[in-house]
Structure 1
Amino acid sequence: MKANSFLNTLDQFIKLSAWPIGSLIVSAGSPFLLIHITLLFYIVSSILMFLLPIQEHTKKNTVQDKGLKNFLLSIRLGWEYTWRNVHAKSISFMSFFEGIGNGVWISAILYMYVKEQLHVGEEWWGYINSVFFGGMVIGGLLSVKFSQSVEKNQQFFVLFGPFCIAIVTLLFGTTTHGALALLYSALYGIIEQWKLICLQTILQKNARMDALPHVFAVQGVISSVTFGISTLLMSFIADVYGIRFSFYLSVCCFLISGWISYRQRKIWSYKENHIAIKLRKQE
């Protein structure tokens, strides 16, 4: 829990810092300079990833040979394990609906929201994004500081997190005051960070170590697919029915995620997860 909190906080802090730094580079140079710097960072990042030490864990169902056939088999194993593991399956369904709900936070929607609903300058689009990442940093720092308390109350955060986010999203989508929009954006970031850290920790504790790469790969696929779906869907709804209707749909998606979490409320228990860890160690 503490390690996940630290890494997520660091990730969000970098994103928060990247907003003003990117703006300065564009102002002092050009957008093309920023793109080239971004490309350079991706190349360096890829090289560093290849240098990471990887400890192999040999299992009977672990795919070790290379080739297209085994590559496809590896993908299939990830989906099969996700479907069999109740924690991975529940988190996947929650991620799907929350991914669609998160579509209201894309740049195109927020740009329309700032102009048509808040009636403020374009710079508020940057303020809202920065405050959101700032909220995630605060949530991460609090999780690092009180990691044991957060872990023991992880069931509370996973159960009520989606419902709280639904309420904050509704308030954000209906307000016409810029200051309140910033407050709701920060609250959204804090709650989202707590929920994400708890779910990530629960998934790590309740999945086999050799299956974790496959499970996280599945989570990445779900995240990418839902991002594409939500971008098209939310943009269409905002364009045809108005900006508020896109937020109403987002609220519905978070409520569905909360309903899924409530139906599986027993598996989020701190005690249940520690029992699962002991059984896994015995195996």
Structure 2
Amino acid sequence: MNNKSFRYLWTGQALANCGDLFYVVGLMAIVHEITGSAMYMAMIPFVTTLARFISGGFAPVLMDKYALKLLLLISQWGKTTALLLLVMTRYALGNQEMTVYVILGMVFLISFLDGWAAPASHAMLPRLVPRDELTRANSFVAVVDQIIQLGGWAAGGMLVAMVGGGQVIWLTVVLAAAAAVLMNRMEDPLVSGDSSERRDRPPYWSSMREGWVLIWKQPALRTIHVIYVLESIAGVVWIAAILYVYVSEVLHKEEAWWGYINASFFLGLMAGGWCGMKGSRWIDRHIGSLTVYSSFGISLMTLGFGMTSMPWLALMFSAGFGLFDQLKAVSLQTMLQRSVSLQLMPKVYAAQSSLISLVFGASTLLFGYVTDRFGVRATFMAAAGILFLSGCYAFGARSRWPSGKNAPDKAQ
């Protein structure tokens, strides 16, 4: 973890994530100022998910053609340029409806660039960190990300209130450019000089399906992604729309409690990441068992959260969910990185990104219907049941987990 390139990666990614968060807050403020419409505001996350799904679909073609570092730089400088154009367009067009459509177009472009940047960033980490430090490194990156998430929304809201959405987008431009500069200083150990790690390029269709095929054919990867899918389905209950109904109808509290619940959740995530850093050696020795116990833990926390009407207890369940969820996420991430070769890992992450985006988008509609039809408690009970099934599946598949230092360096 003392590798300079790793420091450039996590610092650059932290600046980029902070910029992305400010950018969303700023855009929401601008769109609300122009339209006052919740529907137009809801279009931002919809367009984001759609663009990332499309981009993730053919990201493997780019990964066969270009080095990961170059893809990260193209994405980050492209986002910087798009943000700059967005701000200029906002000032040129003013508060008219056309501005909203331009904003949505830029959101699509920026999210499209993110569609291959995120898998490339995830795949770069195990190249820069020794295998026996992967658990600690993944936990550290998770803690940094959760600190940004915990403080970023509040900071973004304060900045919008003080200087306005347009000025916040300017700050995002600066953060995106700084992230690009840092990422440019990374050195990929699989790339020497001007050469890249790419192999003979397969046909486009073969390249696009390679990550999917690997996930399906390799037992450990298939098991990991079945758990990811089940988690993504159940995780929809934590979106703002469902939590808002829960706070209003179950806790009978004002909207501020939505923020308290989110804060306790992120504190739990940070605690889980800290435990991962401090106990990385122990986790490496018991990574399969920890995945199973964490799966049942988040199921229990979700059930307790949905059933209680006591606000303080809801905060405890939310924090407990975050703790178990982070430990499980670090375990799954580390096992995935130990189950596939460094050369093929970007394609696995690209397939994963598209899969999770598709599942999460469809599940949002499903759980929205369940909430309207049966009530928010039923939604959390259903999510807890799905997470319990995930735990049972993890328990039954525990013999497939790669663990510790004995895991193969390059799974084919």
Match of 1:205 in 2: 338
Looking at structure 1, the residues matched to 380 and 152 of structure 2 have their Cα atoms a distance apart, in angstroms, of 27
> Against the structure 1 CA distance between its residues 37 and 93, is the aligned structure 2 distance closer, same or farther, given a 3 Å change threshold?
same
Question: Could you tell me how far 1:255 is from its partner in structure 2?
Answer: 1.7
Match of 1:277 in 2: 408
Equivalent pairs, count: 274
Match of 2:156 in 1: 22
Residues 92 and 222 of structure 1 are in contact (CA less than 8 Å); yes or no, is this contact kept in structure 2? no
Q: Which runs of 5+ in 2 are unaligned?
A: 1-134
Matches within 5 A, 1:1-283: 1-35=135-169, 37-38=171-172, 41-42=175-176, 45=179, 49=183, 52-56=186-190, 63=199, 65=201, 70-268=203-401, 270=403, 274-277=405-408, 280=410
Higher relative contact order (CA 8 A, sep 6+): 1
Question: Could you tell me how far 1:34 is from its partner in structure 2?
Answer: 3.9
> Against the structure 1 CA distance between its residues 42 and 119, is the aligned structure 2 distance closer, same or farther, given a 3 Å change threshold?
farther
Question: Could you tell me how far 1:42 is from its partner in structure 2?
Answer: 4.7
Larger mean Cα displacement after TM superposition, 111-120 or 150-159: 150-159
Superposition CA RMSD, Å: 2.5
Looking at structure 2, the residues matched to 150 and 71 of structure 1 have their Cα atoms a distance apart, in angstroms, of 39
Report percent identity of matched pairs.
Answer: 32
* TM-score, with length taken from structure 2: 0.61
Residues 289 and 398 of structure 2 are in contact (CA less than 8 Å); yes or no, is this contact kept in structure 1? no
Residues 19 and 130 of structure 1 are in contact (CA less than 8 Å); yes or no, is this contact kept in structure 2? no
Match of 2:113 in 1: none
**Alignment deviations for residues 210-269 of structure 1 (CA, whole Å, 9 cap, x no partner):** 111111112211221122012111111111211111112211211221122112111236
Looking at structure 1, the residues matched to 221 and 178 of structure 2 have their Cα atoms a distance apart, in angstroms, of 32
Question: Could you tell me how far 1:33 is from its partner in structure 2?
Answer: 4.1
* 1:162 maps to amino acid: S
Match of 2:112 in 1: none
> Against the structure 1 CA distance between its residues 10 and 220, is the aligned structure 2 distance closer, same or farther, given a 3 Å change threshold?
same
Q: Which runs of 5+ in 1 are unaligned?
A: none
Larger mean Cα displacement after TM superposition, 123-132 or 215-224: 215-224
Residues 63 and 73 of structure 1 are in contact (CA less than 8 Å); yes or no, is this contact kept in structure 2? no
Question: Could you tell me how far 1:56 is from its partner in structure 2?
Answer: 3.8
Question: What SS does the aligned partner of 1:210 have?
Answer: coil
Looking at structure 2, the residues matched to 43 and 158 of structure 1 have their Cα atoms a distance apart, in angstroms, of 38
> Against the structure 1 CA distance between its residues 50 and 252, is the aligned structure 2 distance closer, same or farther, given a 3 Å change threshold?
farther
Looking at structure 2, the residues matched to 243 and 38 of structure 1 have their Cα atoms a distance apart, in angstroms, of 36
> Against the structure 1 CA distance between its residues 116 and 64, is the aligned structure 2 distance closer, same or farther, given a 3 Å change threshold?
farther
Question: What SS does the aligned partner of 2:338 have?
Answer: helix
Larger mean Cα displacement after TM superposition, 21-30 or 202-211: 21-30
Residues 102 and 250 of structure 1 are in contact (CA less than 8 Å); yes or no, is this contact kept in structure 2? yes
* 1:14 maps to amino acid: I
Residues 265 and 318 of structure 2 are in contact (CA less than 8 Å); yes or no, is this contact kept in structure 1? yes
Question: Could you tell me how far 1:208 is from its partner in structure 2?
Answer: 1.2
* 2:142 maps to amino acid: N
Looking at structure 2, the residues matched to 258 and 57 of structure 1 have their Cα atoms a distance apart, in angstroms, of 39
**Alignment deviations for residues 181-221 of structure 1 (CA, whole Å, 9 cap, x no partner):** 11111111110111111111111112111111111112211
